[in-house]
Structure 1
Amino acid sequence: MDWYKSWILKAREHRASADILFSQGKLRDAISRYYYSAFSIMVAVCGQAPKGRWEHKGILKYFFKWCKENGINLPKEDRELLSVFYDKRRTADYTTEVILLEEVKAYTKLVERLFEVVDGWRKNNT
């Protein structure tokens, strides 16, 4: 299986786990899995990291560049959510701060839109 397909499969697995956790009201764990779904999508399209492995904050720059190079205009709301997603995931994993249902819903929709973007790109470029 090629790089893209492997990472997209991983992203779909993370999303499926997140959906189950979300349906059970486990918002912290759901947001963490949604984050890793988004991260895997970015790895799928950005390819291997220039050095070593991708850093969570570092991949955003490359993903936004990839979008621009491929004529993909991510809405400002999506760019903003992606920019703080890593911190939100860390909050969910490492603090006792409340994670709001509306926040998780926003990230659920973000991940859905990311799949739409990369699936559309892949369809038009294979």
Structure 2
Amino acid sequence: MPFGDPKYPVVNPSPDVDQTIRSLRTSDYLLATAMTGGSWAYGYIFGKPTRMACASTAMALGMTAAGMAMLQNGMQRLMGYKENAREVKMYGAWPVQPEIRPNTPGGRYPVATGLYSPSVAPPVDWRNYN
């Protein structure tokens, strides 16, 4: 995840896998079905001598990638990096929201100005580093 302020309300700044799976949408399931089916078709088309074995292996790889994509999309919604009106309505917003600063980088060569709030990435305490 980027070290930047989320554009939407934060539901949970560090969601676990169980909450992420509970908050999946129909579009996530359609994405997983399309990725799994598409990878099976790819394995079948290009696995000429052993079509079914190649298709099954490609489907397993596609299903793994689809599961990772589903979890990534769900976590991004819960953390506020994607549109999450449905999740905010269902679970409520996190009590401490990061302040949203306008992104005003300098033209063509942006300067690292620290466009994130301390609630997202707290400042480093250098006292313990001797």
TM-score normalised by length of structure 2: 0.27
Q: State which structure, 1 or 2, has the greater radius of gyration over its C-alpha atoms.
A: 2
- The structure with higher relative contact order (CA 8 Å, sep 6+) is 2
TM-score normalised by length of structure 1: 0.28
